[in-house]
Amino acid sequence: MSWPYDFETRGIRALPHRLRLRKLLRQLRRYDFSAGSYADVGCGDGYATFQIIQATRATACDGMDRDPALLENGRATLQQIRFCSYDLCRDANVPARYDFVTCFETLEHVMNLPVAVKNLLSLTKPGGTLLLSVPIEIGPIGIAKFLAKIVLWRDQLTEAFEPCPALYRQYLKALIFDQGIHKFREPGNPLGYWPGHWGWDYRKLNRLLKDYGVQFTAFRFHTTCFYEVRP
Specify which of 6-10, 156-160, 201-205 reaches the highest per-range mean pLDDT: 201-205
Q: Would the pLDDT of 95 be above 80?
A: no
The answer to whether the CB of 55 falls within 8 A of the CB of 23 is: no
pTM to 2 decimals?
0.89
134 forms bridges with which residues in the sheet? 225
In tens, the pLDDT along 13-41 reads 566 777 888 889 999 999 999 999 999 99
Lowest mean per-residue pLDDT among 46-50, 137-141, 146-150, 173-177: 146-150
From CA 224, how far away is CA 231, in angstroms rounded? 22
Q: What proportion of the chain, given as a percentage, has pLDDT over 90?
A: 60
Q: What residues form DSSP beta bridges with 103?
A: 132
Domains of the chain by residue range: 7-136+201-230, 139-184
Distance of CA 162 to the CA centre of its chain: 25
Dihedral (CA of 198, 202, 206, 207) sign: negative
Contact (Cβ atoms closer than 8 angstroms) between residue 73 and residue 50: no
Give the pLDDT confidence score for residue 1 in this predicted structure: 39
Report pLDDT digits (tens) over 206-223.
Answer: 999 999 999 999 999 889
Class of domain 7-136+201-230: alpha beta
Which residues contact residue 61 at a Cβ distance below 8 angstroms, ignoring those fewer than 6 apart? 38, 39, 40, 49, 52, 53, 80, 81, 82
Q: How confident is the model at residue 4 (pLDDT cuts 50, 70, 90)?
A: very low
